[in-house]
Structure 1
Amino acid sequence: MEEWDIYDKYRIKKGKVVTRGDTLNADEFHLVIHVAIINSNNQLLIQQRQPFKKGWPNLWDITVGGTAQAGETSQQAAERELFEELGYAFDFTTIRPHFTINFQRGFDDYYILKAEVDLTKLTLQETEVQNVKWAYKDEIVTLIQSKQFIPYHFSVIDMIFDMKDQLGIFSS
């Protein structure tokens, strides 16, 4: 049973916990994280979701993602999801998300890591991930257009690749 902390519109915890699937009130929000790993060839590590997943079965997705569990910070959720889904350990305690996107029911934090990951050494979570591969931005756009990738706005994919070397709105 998955439990989530509830936040107000200012991202302050309301002291309320809900179970996944519960209906949230209009003034209640939850926290979601995504981790995008980009290698030195400017490729994003993407994962293919299992065919039996309730949401977006068989589609390709950003490296990892998921909802923060009750009591977790954004960083703790990112660390847990990355290890659970791919068996890849990374310490997020000293970093902040590269960007956050507000959505109707919550906050979506995006972390971007630059790393050389040997795909053969990953341990894929059988209940979540069926496959992983490296993909260039244009390949991801083609996968989105052909409905083989979760239908992110193209600007989100652009942002991941554009922000990989920096934080903030100014180019370096």
Structure 2
Amino acid sequence: MEIMDLYDENRQKTDKTYIRGSAQPKGFYRMVVHVCIFNKLGQLLIQQRTLNKKMPGLWDVTCGGAVSTHESSQMGAQRELFEELGLDIDFKHIRPLVTANFPMGFDDFYVINKDVDLESLSLQEEEVSDAKWASLDEVIKLRREEKFVRYKESFIRFLFDLSKDNRYVEI
């Protein structure tokens, strides 16, 4: 059972929580995180969702998930990255590069440049079936073929552009 903190419209944590999968109370928001790791070739590390997950079999950015109760955005990003891919990166001094607001909450996107050996990944069996490096053109092609999570193409391009910006974090 996943318990998540609830926030007000100004992203201030309230004293309320809710159980993932239950009806989220109206007027409250949850926090989710996504991590996008790019290599020196400008490719994005993407993962394929298992068939038992929501949006089964689709490719997605490096990792993502809900921030649990008593976690900060950074703590949630660090935990999700370790759980899903076995990558242990300290997010203590890493801030999200962009936040996408959605009707039920806030989605922090972390953009990191780091060459990762695919052989070193430890995929979470319940959630991740595969991982690979993909160029912008490859991700757009997957998206157009409806094999990638339904981010807007402009947002995908934006994430790739951000990876070239001097504000990203290189580890």
TM-score, normalisation: structure 2: 0.95
- Equivalent residue letter for 1:48: Q
Question: Residue 115 of structure 2 aligns with which residue?
Answer: 116
- Equivalent residue letter for 2:21: G
Distance 2:86 2:132 in 1: 15
Tell me the CA shift for residue 132 of structure 1.
0.3
In structure 2, the residue corresponding to 1:83 is in which secondary structure?
helix
In structure 2, the residue corresponding to 1:15 is in which secondary structure?
strand
Distance 1:144 1:31 in 2: 25
Distance 2:113 2:99 in 1: 18
Describe the superposition over 1:84-141 as per-residue Cα deviations: whole angstroms up to 9, x where unpaired: 0000010111121000000000000000110010000100000000000000001101
Question: Residue 34 of structure 2 aligns with which residue?
Answer: 34
Aligned length: 167
Between 1:151-160 and 1:32-41, the stretch displaced more is 151-160
Question: Residue 19 of structure 1 aligns with which residue?
Answer: 19
Distance 1:129 1:100 in 2: 24
Distance 2:50 2:9 in 1: 33
Tell me, yes or no, if structure 1 residue 94 matches structure 2 residue 93: yes
Question: Residue 56 of structure 2 aligns with which residue?
Answer: 57
Distance 1:84 1:161 in 2: 24
Distance 1:78 1:12 in 2: 19
Question: Residue 131 of structure 1 aligns with which residue?
Answer: 130
In structure 2, the residue corresponding to 1:33 is in which secondary structure?
strand
Between 1:90-99 and 1:155-164, the stretch displaced more is 155-164
Distance 1:101 1:73 in 2: 16
Question: Residue 3 of structure 1 aligns with which residue?
Answer: 3
- Equivalent residue letter for 2:44: L
- Tell me the percent identity: 46
Runs of 4+ in 1 over 4 A off after TM superposition: none
Distance 1:166 1:51 in 2: 37
Distance 2:155 2:34 in 1: 11
Question: Residue 102 of structure 2 aligns with which residue?
Answer: 103
Distance 2:13 2:133 in 1: 36
In structure 2, the residue corresponding to 1:92 is in which secondary structure?
coil
Distance 2:147 2:25 in 1: 33
Tell me the CA shift for residue 59 of structure 1.
0.5
